[in-house]
Structure 1
Amino acid sequence: MRFLLTFRGQRGASKKRSSAWAENTNPMISLLRNILPAQVLRWYHYGLSVVAALAFNSPSKEMVIVGVTGTNGKSTVVELIRSIFESAGLNAASLSSIRIVINGEEQINIKKMTMPGRFALQHFLRTARSHGVSHVVVEATSEGMRQFRHRGIDWDGLVFTNLFPEHVESHGSLEAYQRAKESLFAYLSKTERKGRTKKIIVVNADDSHAKDFLKYDADEKWAYATSMAPGNRIQSLLHTKSLDDLGAEDSALLTPTSYEATKDGISMVIKGIEVTSQLRGDFNVYNILAAITLARAYGIEWKAIQRGIETMNVIPGRLECIQREPFTLIVDYAHTPDALEKVYRTVKPEHGRLICVLGAAGGGRDKWKRAEFGKIASSFCDEVILTNEDPYDEDPSSIIADIQKGMEPGRAEAKNILDREQAIQEAVKDAEPGDVVILTGKGSEQWIAGKDVLIPWDEREVARKLLLQK
Structure 2
Amino acid sequence: MDQKKFKAEVKWKVQRVKNLWHFVRAVWAVARNGYPARKLTVIGVTGTDGKTTTCTLIYEILKAAGYKTGLISTVSAKIGDEEIDTGFHTTNPDATLMQKIIARMVKEGVTHLVLEVTAHGLDQYRVMGCNFYIGVLTNITHEHLDDFIDMTRYQNTKLKLFKRVKYAVLNQDDPSYKMINVKTIPYGKTKIRNIAEVLAGDYNKYNIGAAEAVVGILKVNKRLSDQVIKSFGGVPGRREEVKAGQKFRVIVDFAHTPNALEQVLKQLKKELPENKKLIAVFGATGERDKTKRPMMGEAASRLADVVIITSDDTRMESQDEIAEQIMSGINKRYSDKVIKINDRREAIRRAFKMAKAGDIVLIAGKGHEKTILIGKQDRPWSDAGVAREEIDKLRPIM
Tell me if both proteins adopt one fold, taking TM over 0.5 as the criterion: yes
120, 132, 137: which one aligns with 1:143: 120
* Secondary structure class of the residue paired with 2:34: coil
Mapping 1:143-292, distance limit 5 Å: 143-186=120-163, 188-189=164-165, 199-213=166-180, 215-216=181-182, 220-226=183-189, 259=191, 267-268=192-193, 276-278=195-197, 279-292=199-212
**C-alpha distance in structure 1 between counterparts of 2:351 and 2:13, whole Å:** 47
**C-alpha distance in structure 2 between counterparts of 1:281 and 1:371, whole Å:** 24
String of CA shifts for 1:378-398, please: whole Å, max 9, x gaps. 111111111100111111111
1:130 corresponds to which letter in structure 2?
K
312, 320, 341: which one aligns with 2:232: 312
**C-alpha distance in structure 2 between counterparts of 1:334 and 1:57, whole Å:** 37
Q: What is the match of residue 54 of structure 1?
A: 31
Q: What is the match of residue 105 of structure 2?
A: 128
* Secondary structure class of the residue paired with 2:91: coil
**C-alpha distance in structure 2 between counterparts of 1:415 and 1:293, whole Å:** 43
* Secondary structure class of the residue paired with 1:209: helix
| C-alpha deviation, 1:159, in angstroms | 0.5
**C-alpha distance in structure 2 between counterparts of 1:368 and 1:347, whole Å:** 25
State yes or no: 1:408 paired with 2:331.
Answer: yes
* Secondary structure class of the residue paired with 2:348: helix
**C-alpha distance in structure 2 between counterparts of 1:408 and 1:169, whole Å:** 24
Unaligned segments of structure 1, at least 5 residues = 1-32, 190-198, 227-255, 260-266, 269-274
| C-alpha deviation, 1:43, in angstroms | 2.0
Does the C-alpha gap of structure 1 residues 115 and 408 become closer, same or farther in structure 2, counting only changes over 3 Å? same
Paired residues of 1:144 and 1:150 also in contact (CA < 8 A): yes
Q: Name segments (4+ residues, structure 1) moved above 6 Å.
A: 33-36
**C-alpha distance in structure 1 between counterparts of 2:280 and 2:14, whole Å:** 44
Does the C-alpha gap of structure 1 residues 38 and 113 become closer, same or farther in structure 2, counting only changes over 3 Å? closer
State yes or no: 1:78 paired with 2:55.
Answer: yes
Relative to structure 2, which stretch is displaced further, 285-294 or 361-370? 361-370
String of CA shifts for 1:125-155, please: whole Å, max 9, x gaps. 1121122111110100001111011212222
**C-alpha distance in structure 1 between counterparts of 2:242 and 2:155, whole Å:** 35
| C-alpha deviation, 1:325, in angstroms | 4.7
State yes or no: 1:424 paired with 2:348.
Answer: yes
Q: What is the match of residue 452 of structure 1?
A: 376
| C-alpha deviation, 1:372, in angstroms | 1.2
Paired residues of 2:246 and 2:391 also in contact (CA < 8 A): no
Does the C-alpha gap of structure 1 residues 90 and 143 become closer, same or farther in structure 2, counting only changes over 3 Å? same
**C-alpha distance in structure 1 between counterparts of 2:231 and 2:133, whole Å:** 25
Mapping 1:21-100, distance limit 5 Å: 39-100=16-77
**C-alpha distance in structure 1 between counterparts of 2:211 and 2:81, whole Å:** 18
**C-alpha distance in structure 2 between counterparts of 1:442 and 1:108, whole Å:** 18
Identity of aligned residues (%): 32
| C-alpha deviation, 1:410, in angstroms | 4.1
| C-alpha deviation, 1:41, in angstroms | 2.3
Q: Figure out how many residues of one structure are paired with residues of the other and give that number.
A: 379
| C-alpha deviation, 1:377, in angstroms | 1.4
Unaligned segments of structure 2, at least 5 residues = 1-9
249, 269, 286: which one aligns with 1:328: 249
242, 248, 260: which one aligns with 1:339: 260
String of CA shifts for 1:37-91, please: whole Å, max 9, x gaps. 6554232111111111112111111111110001110000000000010110111
2:324 corresponds to which letter in structure 1?
A
Paired residues of 1:169 and 1:365 also in contact (CA < 8 A): yes
| C-alpha deviation, 1:161, in angstroms | 0.5
**C-alpha distance in structure 2 between counterparts of 1:414 and 1:34, whole Å:** 35
Structure with a larger share of its residues in helix: 2
* Secondary structure class of the residue paired with 1:138: strand
Does the C-alpha gap of structure 1 residues 206 and 39 become closer, same or farther in structure 2, counting only changes over 3 Å? closer
String of CA shifts for 1:307-336, please: whole Å, max 9, x gaps. 321232222101111128510000001111
**C-alpha distance in structure 2 between counterparts of 1:35 and 1:76, whole Å:** 30
**C-alpha distance in structure 1 between counterparts of 2:107 and 2:96, whole Å:** 16
* Secondary structure class of the residue paired with 2:339: strand
Paired residues of 2:239 and 2:251 also in contact (CA < 8 A): yes
**C-alpha distance in structure 1 between counterparts of 2:15 and 2:292, whole Å:** 27
Q: What is the match of residue 439 of structure 1?
A: 363
Does the C-alpha gap of structure 1 residues 48 and 177 become closer, same or farther in structure 2, counting only changes over 3 Å? same
State yes or no: 1:299 paired with 2:276.
Answer: no
String of CA shifts for 1:3-59, please: whole Å, max 9, x gaps. xxxxxxxxxxxxxxxxxxxxxxxxxxxxxx979965542321111111111121111
Paired residues of 1:97 and 1:109 also in contact (CA < 8 A): no
State yes or no: 1:386 paired with 2:386.
Answer: no
* Secondary structure class of the residue paired with 1:123: helix
Query: What's the TM-score once normalised by structure 1's chain length?
Result: 0.77
| C-alpha deviation, 1:221, in angstroms | 2.5
| C-alpha deviation, 1:418, in angstroms | 0.8
Paired residues of 2:257 and 2:292 also in contact (CA < 8 A): yes
* Secondary structure class of the residue paired with 1:313: coil
1:288 corresponds to which letter in structure 2?
I
1:86 corresponds to which letter in structure 2?
K
1:142 corresponds to which letter in structure 2?
A
**C-alpha distance in structure 1 between counterparts of 2:127 and 2:155, whole Å:** 15
Relative to structure 2, which stretch is displaced further, 436-445 or 299-308? 299-308
| C-alpha deviation, 1:459, in angstroms | 0.9
